[in-house]
Amino acid sequence: MNWKNLLILCWIMVIGSEGLEILKKRLPDAILIGAKKSGTRALLTFISIHPNVSAANPEIHFFDKYYHLGIDWYRSQMPFATQNQIVIEKTPKYLVDPKVAQRVYNMNKNVKLIVILRNPISRAISEFVQTQWKQKRNIFDVEEQARRFNRMLYQNRRGNLTIRKNWSVIRNGIYVKHVKNWLKYFPLESFIFINGDNLVRNPHQEMKKLQEFLAIKPIITERNFVMTTQKRGFPCIRLKPGSDRIKCLNDQKGRPHPKINPSVFQDLDQFYKPFNKEFFELIDQEPFW
């Protein structure tokens, strides 16, 4: 393909409601940086139906894995968008990778940062299940999964069992640590914190917050969500209010979780409690859980 054809592919002319518009690829205006297993896929799916949003295919991993390929490569991974659309990229690993925040800042210090969070205990179990699923380790034996989770969760320190806080499944849920790193480069006003648990129960509430943050018309409302035909516990979304066309998450969502002993939940609750308190004080918001 010659350079003329490449330029034609990069600049596409379309007729919009206000006349001739130009579609082109540009760097993102907002990045959904995490947290992993907190509802990032659902959030991106829901916001993508907004006509003023153009979402990149998840997950690009530019700032953590492919930074060496350069900013032009990153731009090439973006979707075509008009000047009136907000371009959003999603890679949940960004939140916890310590080198990503500075790299994002160097790209655009005014980028909007979207963070969605769940109760860190639920999040940890979901990440554990995902890891086991990928490794095909007795994925349907929930009792065996619980025993394996316990073995990996605890460590013996001088005869006492303590939680292995350096296990990535647990460390990724210490939100205050990761957000503090991002706050070295971006002000708090650059962030929105979405309640991932509430996104399942009351998705319209979280979508209202997100649309306000992105400064786009709040057209995604309660009428868009199909709560009576949930797919494995996740709501589906109508492409338009009143439409029969709906979009649901794929079958990989809602995998069986291990049967965690109540005492393990209590240990995790005590472990995360001080971190959760510090986190919500840091972002100056009422606790989500």
pLDDT value at position 8?
A: 44
* Assigned domain for 141 exists: yes
The Cα 33–Cα 41 span in angstroms is: 11
From 74-83, 151-160, 225-234, the region with the lowest mean pLDDT: 225-234
Q: What is the mean pLDDT of residues 27-46?
A: 96
Catalytic residues: 37
Q: Are 28 and 58 in contact (CB under 8 A)?
A: no
pLDDT value at position 140?
A: 60
On the question of pLDDT at 7 being above 90, the answer is no
pLDDT value at position 145?
A: 85
* Assigned domain for 288 exists: no
Q: Which domain holds residue 247?
A: 3-283
pLDDT value at position 54?
A: 98
The Cα 249–Cα 246 span in angstroms is: 10
pLDDT band at 219 (very low <50, low <70, confident <90, very high): very high
On the question of pLDDT at 209 being above 60, the answer is yes
pLDDT value at position 3?
A: 46
The residue that leads in pLDDT, 270 or 257, is 270
Q: Are 30 and 87 in contact (CB under 8 A)?
A: yes
pLDDT value at position 2?
A: 46
**CB-based contacts of 7, cutoff 8 Å, min separation 6:** none
Q: What is the mean pLDDT of residues 263-276?
A: 97
On the question of pLDDT at 16 being above 60, the answer is no
pLDDT value at position 5?
A: 46
Angle 115-121-123 (CA atoms, 0-180°, nearest 5)? Answer: 45
pLDDT value at position 48?
A: 96
On the question of pLDDT at 13 being above 80, the answer is no
The residue that leads in pLDDT, 100 or 227, is 100
CATH value at residue 259: 3.40.50.300
pLDDT band at 37 (very low <50, low <70, confident <90, very high): very high
Q: Are 85 and 54 in contact (CB under 8 A)?
A: yes
From 18-22, 235-239, 265-269, the region with the lowest mean pLDDT: 18-22
Helix axes 120-135, 142-153, angle to 10 degrees: 110
* Assigned domain for 56 exists: yes
Q: In 26-117, where do the E strands start and end?
A: 30-34, 53-55, 80-81, 86-90, 112-117
* Assigned domain for 289 exists: no
On the question of pLDDT at 119 being above 90, the answer is yes
* Assigned domain for 189 exists: yes
* Assigned domain for 186 exists: yes
Q: Residues comprising the binding site for 3'-phosphoadenylyl sulfate?
A: 37-41, 118, 126, 253-257
pLDDT, averaged across the chain: 89
* Assigned domain for 97 exists: yes
pLDDT value at position 257?
A: 75
pLDDT value at position 249?
A: 81
pLDDT value at position 22?
A: 85
Domain count, the chain: 1
pLDDT value at position 135?
A: 65
